[in-house]
């Protein structure tokens, strides 16, 4: 009886840690996104849509490199640290961190040199836009610092201590914005090409600062200083450097390879968009402008709520991994059920907000009607994007990384095929259709995989039906009220939209509580 009580208490503590960590990461993520919005508005005004499109083109290279030197290692470190903690095996954590840092930074240095020396070739042959070369050279400097930060964050996620990664993320964004603003203020140069480079300089300095902050914090939070250790239960076995390296590589290589292929496909997708738009009949400038509006203005709005979903997904991996290592199917099922439910609740709320206020947001925030039209269409993506992020973390936590890889490949290839067929015929509308169908394919495949591997209850009424009805009814009433007030009262339109979005969220959450769609039971 006493053992059962202890087990239940430990399960509650783990769920509380997941909830607490999610809240911390969410608050930092929301602050980061808010700052990012102001930054995007500044960039869109300083660069214009075409230059913003050019700036966005460098990020496929950034993503590919980050995947090679960081993604797999960070995830494997998080998973291995969580597993060692689940077994009370504390002695290996320092070695895990040390070897992960060595592997990540070594690969990052090699990639920095390759990108720096071959920037012109990459810009011309791969990105098909020679004006990105100087930005690529500046960006290459940051890779080793990102490698250090990602490994340290992997450790913190593994022990479910989200405070440092959250504050690191916020610090990086703050410094990035300040650096670009200060350089712009004192440069007095109106050349838009220089502004593109300034944005990359801000990114580099922000990442370096966050790396230094993360590294300093590490000295005060290592296991040997009692941060996570309870030596009274320490029955651990010290693994050799060779075994730990092998364990990290066995987990990280398949994951990195999978993510690399996916990132390459995403990069092909990114490069194809302006190319196919030119086939549709747009000039090079118009194609880049359309791409800039879509990726630099509309998509940041759609991805804003992922501050919560990403926080949940990051912390889901070690939680599921630890429960899986202990064969705790009940914990896996409960965590899966709650995570899916809240992903859908947030996704449906986001869809409602962007359908109701999307067009107005594009016009008032970016002074671009096209951005608002894209937001209206992209709103339907929200539940699928947010749910896929959660499902992917659950599958990876179960050690079935190959499933998320295959599903992502199928979805991305479907999207690329549709891009090639639809954009030359329908322009950017063709891409929006391809995006919706590709995401839907991935979501369906991931859902099937979770249903096959996890036993859990899915409250459809609380996850879909009630949120959907509340969104439809509240949205209809608030939209009518918004239009009426906007006509009757002279008020800043952005402020008015924010007030109505806040009211919408309060009504939505209030009715979910009243209808018992959400409750305190989900946290225990």
One pLDDT digit (tens) per residue for the chain, 524 residues: 444 444 444 444 454 455 555 565 566 666 776 777 677 777 777 777 778 888 888 988 999 999 999 988 888 888 888 777 766 666 777 788 888 999 999 999 999 999 999 999 999 888 888 889 999 999 999 999 999 999 998 888 887 776 778 788 888 888 988 888 888 777 655 544 447 788 899 999 999 999 999 888 877 766 554 444 444 444 456 666 677 788 888 888 877 887 788 888 888 888 888 889 989 988 888 888 888 888 777 887 787 776 666 655 555 656 676 677 677 788 888 878 888 888 888 889 999 999 988 888 888 877 778 888 888 888 888 889 888 888 888 887 787 878 888 898 999 999 999 999 999 999 988 998 999 999 999 999 999 998 888 888 888 888 899 999 999 998 888 888 888 888 888 777 888 888 998 899 899 989 998 988 887 666 55
Q: What string of DSSP letters covers 266-309?
A: HHHHHHHHHHHHHHHT--HHHHHHHHHHIIIIIHHHHHTTHHHH
Residue 518 DSSP label: S
**What's residue 1's pLDDT?**
47
**What's residue 2's pLDDT?**
45
**What's residue 390's pLDDT?**
83
Of 313, 260, 266, 200, the closest CA to residue 69 belongs to: 260
**What's residue 25's pLDDT?**
58
Name the CA radius of gyration of the chain, rounded. Answer: 23
**What's residue 237's pLDDT?**
64
Of 296, 398, 303, 299, the closest CA to residue 346 belongs to: 303
Question: What are the φ/ψ torsions at residue 490 (nearest 5 degrees)?
Answer: -85, 110
Q: How far are the Cα atoms of 21, 463, 520 from residue 330, in angstroms, in the given order?
A: 21, 20, 18
Of 493, 485, 274, the closest CA to residue 366 belongs to: 493
pTM: 0.71
CA 401 – CA 254 distance, rounded (Å): 8
**What's residue 480's pLDDT?**
86
- At what angle are helices 241-280 and 72-86 packed, to 10 degrees? 140
- Here the tokens at position 296 are 């630099």
375: Cβ contacts below 8 Å, ≥ 6 apart: 298, 301, 302, 354, 358, 359, 361, 362
Q: What angle do CA 140, 42, 434 make, to 5 degrees?
A: 70
**What's residue 229's pLDDT?**
40
């Amino acid at each position: 009886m006493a053992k059962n009580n202890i087990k239940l208490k430990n399960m509650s503590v783990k769920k509380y840690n997941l909830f607490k960590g999610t809240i911390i990461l969410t608050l930092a993520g929301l602050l980061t996104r808010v700052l990012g919005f102001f930054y995007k508005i500044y960039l869109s005004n300083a660069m214009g849509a075409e230059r913003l499109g050019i700036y966005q083109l460098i990020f496929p290279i950034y993503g590919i490199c980050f995947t090679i030197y960081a993604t797999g290692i960070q995830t494997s470190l998080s998973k291995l640290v969580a597993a060692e903690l689940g077994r009370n095996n504390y002695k290996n954590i320092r070695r895990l961190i040390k070897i992960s840092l060595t592997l990540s930074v070594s690969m990052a240095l090699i990639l920095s040199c390759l990108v720096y020396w071959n920037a012109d070739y990459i810009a011309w042959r791969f990105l098909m836009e020679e004006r990105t070369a100087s930005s690529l050279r500046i960006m290459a400097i940051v890779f080793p610092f990102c490698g250090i930060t990602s490994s340290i964050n992997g450790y913190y996620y593994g022990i479910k201590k989200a405070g440092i990664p959250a504050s690191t993320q916020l610090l990086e964004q703050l410094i990035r914005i300040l650096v670009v603003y200060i350089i712009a203020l004192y440069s007095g140069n109106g050349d838009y090409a220089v502004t593109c480079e300034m944005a990359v300089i801000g990114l580099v300095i922000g990442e370096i600062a966050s790396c230094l902050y993360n590294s300093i914090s590490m000295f005060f939070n290592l296991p040997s200083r009692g941060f996570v250790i309870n030596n009274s239960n320490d029955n651990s076995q010290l693994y050799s450097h060779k075994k730990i390296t092998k364990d990290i590589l066995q987990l990280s290589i398949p994951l990195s390879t999978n993510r690399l292929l996916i990132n390459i496909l995403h990069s092909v997708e990114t490069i194809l968009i302006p190319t196919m738009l030119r086939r549709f009949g747009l000039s090079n400038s118009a194609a880049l402008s359309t791409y800039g509006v879509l990726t630099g203005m509309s998509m940041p709005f759609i991805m804003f709520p992922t501050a919560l979903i990403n926080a949940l997904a990051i912390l889901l991996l070690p939680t599921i991994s630890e429960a899986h290592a202990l064969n705790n199917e009940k914990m896996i099922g409960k965590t899966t059920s709650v995570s899916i439910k809240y992903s859908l609740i947030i996704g449906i709320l986001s869809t409602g907000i962007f359908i109701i206020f999307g067009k107005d947001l594009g016009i008032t925030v970016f002074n671009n009607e096209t951005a608002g039209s894209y937001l209206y269409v992209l709103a339907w993506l929200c539940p699928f994007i947010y749910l896929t992020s959660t499902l992917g973390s659950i599958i990876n936590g179960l050690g079935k990384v190959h499933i998320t890889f295959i599903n992502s490949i199928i979805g991305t290839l479907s999207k690329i095929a549709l891009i090639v067929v639809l954009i030359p015929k329908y322009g950017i509308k063709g891409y929006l259709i391809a995006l919706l169908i590709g995401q839907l394919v991935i979501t369906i495949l991931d859902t099937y995989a979770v249903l096959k591997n996890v036993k859990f209850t899915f409250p459809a009424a609380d996850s879909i039906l009630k949120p959907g009805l509340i969104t439809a009814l509240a949205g209809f009433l608030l939209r009518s009220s918004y239009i009426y007030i906007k006509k009757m009262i002279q008020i800043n339109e952005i402020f008015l939209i924010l007030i109505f979005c806040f009211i919408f969220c309060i009504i939505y959450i209030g009715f979910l509580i009243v209808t018992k769609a959400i409750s305190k039971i989900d946290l225990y």
